[in-house]
């Protein structure tokens, strides 16, 4: 594998370049906490920020972007359409654009596959993409059956599927389905909400590489070809999470981590939705 760097990008199936590493702001409090987190990330070289309408901090992300002075074209901003908004996606997309203070959103995702509204919502996202309001469209929390259903009616194939993914929830079948259909799989909660940081297997591997447990988890996702968006509000952790490009896991250690799966889910379970 080539040597990767912090702002390494992957080309989506529509040609748009998406940084493989970013900052997630789920459960980051609106106001100073979120603004400072985004500003710190941008200071450390992050150029990819992931938010959502339901997080309640789109305005803070927009404020931080403005304060940073970084040219808009250098940034990649993702936001998401919430469940209750799927009956009127255009309205809520325009609200997100206004709240973020942006003319376009780089990636707009259906946040969750709500039965009864997800099909029409996808059609509306396709229209928004055609109109240039968004540079790419995708989904989040879609399982293989959800994707198979979507393929039956989609005119435009999603560029991204964002799901919970870490060694303790290793969704290889989903990853393979996405690869087969040229969809990038993006890992949210790559640190399993910190609930596995003290796992002896992980602690041992971190000691071997002279890295933190979090850095091992992030590097694992990167080495699997995922886009990864770890969340932190602490300045030192935001920096630490980005310091994963000066090493890579050996093939034997990657293989070992493949055996760690416990179907351990820390967020929503979309199965059956």
> Annotated binding site for substrate: which residue ranges?
111
CB within 8 Å of 120: residues ≥ 6 apart: 86, 87
CB within 8 Å of 196: residues ≥ 6 apart: 166, 168, 202, 213, 217, 264
**Cα distance between the two ends of the chain:** 37
Closest by Cα among 29, 38, 45, 44 to 63: 38
CA distance 189 to 229: 8
CA distance 73 to 252: 39
Active site (annotated) includes residue 46: no
**Identified catalytic residue from 46, 55, 108, 129:** 55
Binding-site sequence positions = 111
CA distance 166 to 260: 9
Which of the residues are catalytic? 55
């Amino acid at each position: 594998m080539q040597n990767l760097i912090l702002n390494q990008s992957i080309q989506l199936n529509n040609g748009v370049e998406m940084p493989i590493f970013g900052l997630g702001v789920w459960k980051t409090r609106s106001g100073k906490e979120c603004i400072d987190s985004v500003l710190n990330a941008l200071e450390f070289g992050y150029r990819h920020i992931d938010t959502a309408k339901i997080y309640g901090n789109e305005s803070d992300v927009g404020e931080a972007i403005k304060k940073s002075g970084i040219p808009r074209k250098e940034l990649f901003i993702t936001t998401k359409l919430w469940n209750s908004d799927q009956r009127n996606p255009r309205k809520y997309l325009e609200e997100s654009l206004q709240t973020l203070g942006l003319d376009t959103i780089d990636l707009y995702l259906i946040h969750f596959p709500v039965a009864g509204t997800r099909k029409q919502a996808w059609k509306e996202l396709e229209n928004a993409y055609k109109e240039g309001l968004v540079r790419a469209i995708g989904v989040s929390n879609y399982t293989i059956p959800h994707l198979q259903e979507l393929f039956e009616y989609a005119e435009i194939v999603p560029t991204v599927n964002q799901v919970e993914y870490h060694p303790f929830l290793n969704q290889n079948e989903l990853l393979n389905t996405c690869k087969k259909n040229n969809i990038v799989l993006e890992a949210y909660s790559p640190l399993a909400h910190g609930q596995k940081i003290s796992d002896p297997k992980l602690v041992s591997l971190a000691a071997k590489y002279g890295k933190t447990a979090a850095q091992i988890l992030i590097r694992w996702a990167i080495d699997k070809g995922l886009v990864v968006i770890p969340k932190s509000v602490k300045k030192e952790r935001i920096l630490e999470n980005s310091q994963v490009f000066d090493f890579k896991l050996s093939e034997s250690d990657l293989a070992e981590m493949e055996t760690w799966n416990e179907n351990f889910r820390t967020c929503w379970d979309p199965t059956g939705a």
